[in-house]
Structure 1
Amino acid sequence: MTGHSLRESLGVGKVRIILADDSQYIRTAYRRVLETQSHFEVVGVAEDGEEAVQKAKELQPDVAVLDVRMPKLNGIDAAHQILEDKPDVGIVVISAYDDMEFVRQLFQGSPAGKAYLLKTSLDDIGELIRVVEAVANGATVLDSTLVQQLVRIHLNRDDSFLLQFTETEREIWEFVAGGYENSETAAILGVTESQVSEVAGRVIDALGISNPNDVDVRSQAVARFVNANTEVPYTVDDQQS
C-alpha cells in the first residue's frame, strides 16, 4: 500500500507542507514538484530558518522541507525547534553535504519521520515526492548515497555484522534504510516482500533492536546504523550550501 492510499484508507486529508530555502528559485521549483500530487498542499514558504520555525507554529504543517544551510538558523536547528513545538511534524532536510555528522545531528532524539536528502538526488523529481510521502507516514529516510557509504565502511571492518549478508540482502537493507516500503523494495529488486521483511528483521536484530516490523524500530535501526559510523569533521555552521 502506498503512503497516499494509506492516508486515504485512514481518512486522513491532504499532506500540509512548508518549504524553507533562501533561494526563491528553489522554493518555487520544490513547490511545483510537490503540487503535482493532488494530496499535497504547500501551505507556506520561508526564506530563513527562523521564519520556517514561525511558519510551522502558525500553519501546523504535516511536513517541513528545510535546506540545511539558511540565514539566521540552519535547517537542522530549525527542525529541532519545530519538533519541540509539534513533535509529529515530518522533517526533510536537503543538503549539498554527504557528511554523516549532519545526519547524526538531525536524528538526535527520535529519528522517526525524518529524512536527510542530498541535492544530487533531486535530479529525479520523483524522489522529493517519495521522501515527503515517507516522512509523512513516520518513516526514516537516509539518502541512498549515504547508505552506500555506510555499507562500504561496514564491509571494511572484520567484525561487521553485514559480512553475514549476501550482496542482494545488503541491497535490500539499503532500500529499507532509504525509507522504501517493503512492496517498493521487492518490486525494484525482484524479490518477495517476505524476503525484505526477513532481511530487515535480521539487520535490526544484529543492531540489537527488537520488534523488527515496527516502523519506529526500523527508524531506530537506521539511526544506530549511522551512529556506529559517524565521524565529526565539522558542524553545520562551518559550511555554506
Structure 2
Amino acid sequence: MSVGAQGGARGAIRVAVVEDQPLFRQMIAALLSAAGRFDLVGAWPDAASAREALSGRQLDVALLDYRLPDGDGITLGRWLRAEQPGIGIVLLSATDNMNALLDLADAELRGWSYLSKTSSLSSRGLLTALEATAQGRTVLDPALSERRSPRRGSGLDALSPRQFEVLELVAEGLTNTAIAHRLGIADRSVDNHVSTIYQALAISADGQRNPRVEAVRRFLTETA
C-alpha cells in the first residue's frame, strides 16, 4: 500500500521508496517526511505496484530494496531510468554485496548508490546518500568501503595510503571539499590527490566517461 504523497516544499528532493518490509518502509517514510527537505512521493512494497504508481511521475531519486518479492532493485531502477534518465537510484540491501553495482554498464553507473541495512546505516547517512545520489553522485556504503583493501598487483595497490584513503572517500560520494574537511587538509591538496589518482589509474575525462564514476568502478573491481 502506498504512503500518501506529500506536498513538499518548493525545491524539495522528490523521493520514491520501494521496500517490502512494512515496518522498515514506514520508518523510512516517516524519516523522509520529518526531514523537511524531501518530498515523499510514495512508498510501495513491490515492483509491480511501484511501476503502476510511478509511470509518468517526476522523481529526483528512488530508494529501492535490492531484493523485492517480484523482482530486484536493479531491474526496477533501470525501468525508472528509462522513464526518467536523470533519476538517482539508491539500492538498499540486506546483504553486503556492493559488487551488485558491477552489473551496470559504465554508462549507467552514474547516480547509482548502494547502502547496506546490516552495516552502520544511520538516518543521517541515508539522507546524505539520497541527496548526493539525486545530484548524480555515486555513493558506496561507508562501513563496507572501509573494510576493503586493494587487490595485490592491481592499479589501486600502487597508490599511496593517502591516495587510497582519498579514493575511498570519492567512492563514498564525497565532493573534494567534503574530503578536505574530513581529512583536515586543504581543498587544493585533495584536488592534487584526485588528479594523481586519475593519472595512476589512467582515468581521463574524455567527454564520454565521468572520471569519478570510473574511479568508483575501479574501487569496486580492484578491492576485496
**What range describes the TM-score normalised by the shorter chain of this pair?**
0.7 to 0.9
Residues in 1 aligned to 2:54 and 2:190: alpha-carbon distance in whole angstroms: 36
Pick the aligned partner of 2:197 from 182, 203, 223: 203
In structure 1, the residue matched to 2:96 is 98
Give the direction of change, closer, same or farther, for the CA distance of 1:108–1:182 in structure 2 (3 Å limit): closer
Pick the aligned partner of 1:141 from 139, 142, 146: 139
In structure 2, the residue matched to 1:219 is 213
> Which one has more relative contact order, counting CA pairs under 8 Å at least 6 apart?
1
The aligned runs of 1:9-20 (5 Å cut-off) are: 13-20=11-18
Aligned CA-pair RMSD: 2.5
Residues in 2 aligned to 1:75 and 1:63: alpha-carbon distance in whole angstroms: 13
Which structure features the higher share of helix residues?
Answer: 1
1:117-163 alpha-carbon deviations (Å, 9 max, x no partner): 1113454210001100101111011112443344x142xx1x33334
TM-score (norm 1): 0.79
**Structure 1 segments unaligned to the other structure (5+ residues):** 1-11, 231-241
1:33-86 alpha-carbon deviations (Å, 9 max, x no partner): 223332211111111022223333242211000000111121111111111221
Give the direction of change, closer, same or farther, for the CA distance of 1:55–1:192 in structure 2 (3 Å limit): farther
Residues in 2 aligned to 1:129 and 1:211: alpha-carbon distance in whole angstroms: 29
Name the SS for the 2:43 alignment partner. Answer: strand
In structure 2, the residue matched to 1:178 is 172
Name the SS for the 1:142 alignment partner. Answer: coil
Name the SS for the 2:55 alignment partner. Answer: helix
Name the SS for the 2:86 alignment partner. Answer: coil
Residues in 2 aligned to 1:77 and 1:114: alpha-carbon distance in whole angstroms: 13
Please say which of residues 186-195 and 18-27 is displaced more in the overlay: 186-195
Please say which of residues 120-129 and 184-193 is displaced more in the overlay: 120-129
Does 2:187 align with 1:193?
Answer: yes
Residues in 1 aligned to 2:34 and 2:201: alpha-carbon distance in whole angstroms: 38
Give the direction of change, closer, same or farther, for the CA distance of 1:107–1:191 in structure 2 (3 Å limit): farther
Name the SS for the 1:141 alignment partner. Answer: coil
In structure 1, the residue matched to 2:111 is 113
For the 8 Å contact 1:110–1:220, the answer to whether it is kept is no
For the 8 Å contact 2:61–2:130, the answer to whether it is kept is yes
Question: What amino acid is aligned across from residue 92 of structure 1 in structure 2?
Answer: V
Q: How many residues align?
A: 214
Please say which of residues 65-74 and 190-199 is displaced more in the overlay: 190-199
Pick the aligned partner of 1:126 from 124, 127, 133: 124
TM-score (norm 2): 0.84
**Overall identity of the aligned pairs, in %:** 31
Instruction: Tell me how far 1:100 sits from its aligned partner.
Output: 4.3
In structure 2, the residue matched to 1:162 is 156
Please say which of residues 162-171 and 122-131 is displaced more in the overlay: 162-171
Pick the aligned partner of 1:38 from 33, 36, 39: 36
Residues in 2 aligned to 1:28 and 1:100: alpha-carbon distance in whole angstroms: 25
For the 8 Å contact 1:114–1:140, the answer to whether it is kept is yes
For the 8 Å contact 1:139–1:216, the answer to whether it is kept is no
Please say which of residues 193-202 and 63-72 is displaced more in the overlay: 193-202
